[in-house]
Amino acid sequence: MKYDLKEYKQLLSIPSVTAYGKKEPMTKAAGYIKKLFNQIGFKVFSRAIKGNEIILAEKMVSPARPTILFYNHYDVQPPEPLSEWVFPPFGGTVCGGKLYARGAEDNKGNFMARFTAVKLLGARLPINIKFIVDGAEEAGSPGLAEFIATYRHKLAADFCIWECGGRKDDGTPMILLGCKGICYAELAVQGAQEDLHSSKGAVVPNPAWRLAWALNTLKDKFERIRISGFYDNVRNPSADDMAALKPALFEGSPYLKKLGLKNFVLNLKGRVLLKKYYYQPALNINGLTAGYQGTGHKTVLPKAASAKIDFRLVPDQQPDEILRKLRRHLDREGFRDVKILSSHGYPPARTRLEDARPWLKALDEAAGRVYHKRLLVEPMMPASGPMYLFTRLMAKGGGHLPCFGIGIGYSGSRIHAPNEHIYLSDYERGIKYVTALIELLGRM
């Protein structure tokens, strides 16, 4: 297979971090992706809705042939803390058979593996290919719902290949059929107009304490979320759902050892652990900010405190509903002063097996050719994304659009963390996998 990393590295060199709010790198990344598609003869269409550009590119061979819709995004997470990176986060450094960069896996690497497969097929492309490349997935894709509602007619496909996926440490390729939803929120407490000497803490309210007390009301020590009505719409997993929970999905002991931990929450193991991971909602504190956090001592009473939190949701919870219940909970607990400054979210999404079956055979056969192993089906990705917008679309042949997550990552890829990377061997297998899938579909 003849390919180089030049285009991949060029895309990785662009610091397209949505969280920074800088327009120039986002425009540059979108422009580069459109250039790549133009060079291989794809028809390119883009619109900026509520922020960064969303790109739609397609090459239609024949309406009678199968159509794959690929969903990816070109924005990335912030690279901080920069001091923990072994190599510069933007550019793509190859070392020890790995490529290091922010976005190496999530999601520029997955995009480039798919794009490269299509590029290498060239005139031999036997089916219809569409790409939708989001510019703000890491910020909640604020314009994607409107884009899809407006241009739904352009998105007709037989199935969608979702942004991410990967392999297990033993090389077994995985495919995901859904993802949890998310409700993200930033909580804030304002105190005095300025930081004060900590001696004033005897009589002046400390916003850091207020925030800590408020957070303490959200979840108990048994991991039960205490917001009234939080679990009302949780759909219990079916017998088929539980049967899909295979021990191979989550290697407990090796993963704990890799993390330097002795046990999971509540010392959970086996199917109980898997059920919580895949089918139950969760609440996480992402970050806390208050007062002085530099080197050495500074006795200060901070003027403000804030926390970033997220709820991971399962069918049939909705982020707007959870946000309303969070506000009511804080008010009832006496924390009307705790403000919710910002929020965004996605509902959860699942691909139904009856919609998935017609295409799973081809996906599995292609995986066998490249990985020499059967696909391991992951019923629900514990992370989140706007998949619900796609599973609600109608497929060309009827029924809801199936979404399948495949990709080039592995458990140690460190997405969203310093030193994100992929193995170059996984990148090459990712290209071969997509190529094999397209060739198989071309014979259908």
| 345-376 pLDDT tens trace | 889 999 987 788 889 999 999 999 999 999 99
pTM of the model: 0.86
| Beta pairing class for 421-423 and 174-176 | unpaired
The predicted pLDDT at position 285 comes to 97
Whether the predicted pLDDT of 316 surpasses 80: yes
The predicted pLDDT at position 409 comes to 96
Whether the predicted pLDDT of 399 surpasses 90: no
Measure Cα distances from 191 to 84, 257, 306 in Å. 33, 42, 11
Q: How far is it, in rounded angstroms, from Cα 176 to Cα 103?
A: 20
Nearest residue to 409 (alpha-carbon basis) of 168, 247, 248: 168
Question: Measured in Å, how far apart are the chain's first and last C-alpha atoms?
Answer: 24
Q: How far is it, in rounded angstroms, from Cα 161 to Cα 365?
A: 16
Q: 269-294 pLDDT, tens per residue? A: 999 999 999 999 999 999 999 999 99
Mean pLDDT (whole number) for 62-70: 97
The predicted pLDDT at position 255 comes to 83
203: Cβ contacts below 8 Å, ≥ 6 apart: none
The predicted pLDDT at position 249 comes to 87
CA angle 440, 384, 11 (to 5 degrees): 65
Q: Contact at 8 Å (CB) between 237 and 281?
A: no
321: Cα separation from own chain's centroid? 21
The predicted pLDDT at position 141 comes to 92
Nearest residue to 172 (alpha-carbon basis) of 95, 264, 246, 268: 246
Q: Residue 78: exposed, middle, or buried by beta-carbon count in 10 A (0-12, 13-18, 19+)?
A: middle
DSSP-based three-state secondary structure for 214: helix
Whether the predicted pLDDT of 193 surpasses 90: yes
DSSP-based three-state secondary structure for 354: helix
Q: 78-125 pLDDT, tens per residue? A: 999 999 999 999 999 999 999 999 999 999 999 999 999 999 999 999
Whether the predicted pLDDT of 431 surpasses 90: yes
130: Cβ contacts below 8 Å, ≥ 6 apart: 56, 57, 58, 67, 68, 69, 70, 154, 155, 157
Q: How far is it, in rounded angstroms, from Cα 346 to Cα 178?
A: 12
The predicted pLDDT at position 13 comes to 98
Q: Contact at 8 Å (CB) between 58 and 42?
A: yes
| Structure-block tokens of residue 261 | 């931990």
The predicted pLDDT at position 2 comes to 76
The predicted pLDDT at position 122 comes to 96
Enumerate the H helices of 174-222 as residue ranges. Answer: 207-216
The predicted pLDDT at position 360 comes to 93
Q: How much is the mean pLDDT over the chain?
A: 95
Instruction: Give 226 or 251, the one with higher predicted confidence.
Output: 226
Enumerate the H helices of 158-243 as residue ranges. Answer: 207-216, 239-243
Mean pLDDT (whole number) for 160-169: 94
53 DSSP β-pair partners: 48
Helix (H) or strand (E) holding 319: helix 319-332
DSSP string covering 251-306? -HHHHHHHHT-S--GGG--HHHHHHHHHHS-EEEEEEEEES--SSS---EE-SEEE
The predicted pLDDT at position 123 comes to 95
Longest CA–CA separation in the chain, Å = 77
Whether the predicted pLDDT of 251 surpasses 80: no
**Up-side HSE of residue 36: CA atoms within 13 Å toward CB?**
26
Lowest mean pLDDT among 110-114, 185-189, 245-249, 295-299: 245-249
Backbone torsions φ then ψ of 324, nearest 5 degrees: -65, -40
Sign of the CA dihedral with 271 first, then 277, 278, and 279 last: positive
